[in-house]
Each structure stands twice: as C-alpha cells, then as structure tokens.
Amino acid sequence: MSGSGYIAGFGAAVPGCALRQIEMWDGFFARHFAGDRMAERIFRSAGVQHRHAAVNPADEDVSGWSTGERMRRYVSEAFPLGKEAVAAALADAGLAPDEVGLFVVASCTGYVTPGLDIRVAADLGMAPDVQRLFIGHMGCYAAIPALGAARDYVVARNRPAVVLCLELTSLHVQPPADDHGRIDLGQVVSHALFGDAAAAIVVLPDAPGARRGLEVLEIAALTDAATADHMTWEVTDLGFRMGLSPEVPRVLARHVRAMVSEVLGRHGLTTADVDGWAVHPGGPRILSTVAEQLALPADALDASKAVLAERGNCSSATVLLVLDALRAAGRSRAGRAVVAMAFGPGLTLYVALLRQG
C-alpha cells in the first residue's frame, strides 16, 4: 500500500461539570471510602488537579446504579459531546461532513445501538454511504488502532476519515468495597485518575496541494498476554469495573524501550530525532517509567503531564488530547518525528510514529 495519511484536524469537547480534585475528595470520595488515609494519599498524588465529568458524584451517587441506568445516561451525555468534537475537527481541517468516507468511533464506557457512529454521522450531515467502524472495549490505547484503520482507509480509498474517541468514566463509580468488604485500592486509583472527554481527528489522503499535518508513518502493537490480568475492564450489574495492578509500570518498563527503538530504527531514526512525545498519561508512575526507560529530556512529557493535570486520564481520548496539546505548543518542526503511545488491557502497548508535515 503506497501513499500517506495525514492528521489534519483536531477537535475536543468535555462535559460542562468541571471539578477540582480536592473538592471531589472532600465532597464525595472521602465519605465514599470512609476517610481511608491510603485512599486520600492516592487522590492527592494522582497528578490530577481538575477534570470534567458527565456526573458530579457529590450531586449524584451512581455507585448503586444498574448498568442499564448508566447506559441510558451514556446515550444522553455522549451524543452532544461527540457531535461537538467531530464538528470542531472537521472545521479545523476545512472539511465538509459529506466529504467523510469513513467514520471510526472508539469507546469503552458505553454501548448503544444504533450507536454514536450512526447518530453523530446523521446529525452532522455525513453522506448515507459513509462507512462506519466502532471500536469497543479496547480501553486507553484504542485511539491508535483507530488511527491505523483510518490511515489505511484514506490510503486505499483516497477519501478522508474521521476518528472520534469518547469516554464517560464518571458513569462507572463503583461501590467502595470488594466482595470481602475491603476497600479496593485499584478502584481508588481509577476513581482518582479518570475524567470524561471526547476527542476527534480528521485524517486526509495525500494529494497535490492538500493540507498536510502529521503524517502517519507506522502503527505498531505489542501485547504481553502473560500479564492479561494486570488491567481489566469488566461489565458487571453495577456498571463497568476496572481491575488495575500496581505491576503495570514494571511490565511497561520491560517492553517500552525495545519496542520504541525498533519502530524508530525501521525508519532510520533514534529518540534524538523525535521532537514530540504524546505519551498516554495513565498516571504519574506510567509517565516517569517511560521517561526513564527512554532517557527523555526533563520537559519531553510536559504535554502529557498538563493533560493529566487539567483533564485527568480520559481513557482512549487522552492521547489525542496530548497530540493536540503538542500541536498548540509548537513542539514539532517540519520533517521531524512525533511518537504517540498508549497502554491498556492485554497488557498492550500501542505506538504511532508520525512526522510533522
């Protein structure tokens, strides 16, 4: 397959409820976790200062809601957010909705049929023959395989594609204790980190005189199946429940250097040739592990840290938010490499090698 695909437009949307981390602890989670000191330390050290939520837990305690109740709320909240993010990305790329050939939607926090892909496409005025792809339950790394599918489509069909990643993790606050009546620290970590957001990108084919943004050079994946139980996302009668092992940073430390070096090496590059690092901020330990293993400069992950601080970990939408933050900061020079990476269940590491046009 010859040709290239370029990320030429970004858009984002967040729920209207903006929350400060310490207010979330004081207003709900201190009571929810019975004032547990370890839980409070986790909240205070999560690297999150603000985030947005479809549901403010201080106003609505959803921890006892059924999965059906949560999915109905997902529909009402997700549709306007997705429409806003996609419309912004199309406008940024200078593209009309009826020019889109493929619409990819990724989400692991809600399901409905007809889905967001159909509803957003129809309401924005995409053509009836637009092709659609829904990517579900891949978790935090889903944006990168979604980008890969979009890039392959635009190269093969010479038509534009749009990717939307939309997550409403606030709908999945869990009961405070596990089946044995003990506070589940994995749930504490997830509730301390995750926020809600929608992020969209437009991918355009290469053409004479076409606007060029970030060229997608390669998408690579690595799954350590022996650690599949380290990160899970289970559908229960009370919403979706995350399983999160403290071993995740150690697993990433075993793989990230070799994988990134191999991807760069296939293009005759090293880490010194990379201007921008869009690393999914799964938490402070994830970012410090990546920085240490790749021997990155002190400011290399500033965009990831800033997104974590102001948005939280927004699952699949997060790495797109980081890429947009890098663009806004002007970190990448023409012709230089940008690396996007994200991690999730499997345990899986996905890497996208990009080049600034």
For 113, the token pair is 């049929």
pTM above 0.85, yes or no: yes
| pLDDT tens-digit series, residues 294-305 | 999 999 999 999
pLDDT at 3 over 70: yes
| pLDDT tens-digit series, residues 53-92 | 999 999 999 999 999 999 999 999 999 999 999 999 999 9
Amino acid identity of 296? L
For 14, the token pair is 């967040």
For residue 266, CA distances in Å to 148, 156, 186, 253, 341 come to 17, 22, 37, 21, 17
Q: 147: which DSSP letter?
A: H
Question: What integer is the mean pLDDT of 310-329?
Answer: 97
> Under a CB-based contact definition with an 8 Å cutoff, are residues 338 and 276 in contact?
yes
Instruction: Give the other-Cβ count within 10 Å of 222's Cβ.
Output: 16
Parse the chain into domains and list their residue ranges. Answer: 5-205, 214-356
Please list the residues that pair with 311 across neighbouring strands: none
Phi and psi at residue 200, in whole multiples of 5°? -135, 150
For 206, the token pair is 């290469």
pLDDT at 1 over 90: no
| Pick from 159, 206, 149, 170: nearest CA to 315 | 170
For residue 247, CA distances in Å to 228, 231, 235 come to 12, 10, 23
What architecture is domain 214-356?
3-Layer(aba) Sandwich (3.40)
Q: What number does CATH give the domain 5-205?
A: 3.40.47.10
Cα–Cα distance measured from residue 103 to residue 99, given in angstroms and rounded to the nearest whole number: 11
| Pick from 93, 101, 83, 107: nearest CA to 161 | 101
pLDDT at 210 over 70: no
- For 50-94, the DSSP string reads EEEESS-TTT---TT--HHHHHHHHHHHHHHHHHHHHHHHHHHHT
Element (H, E) at 204: strand 197-205
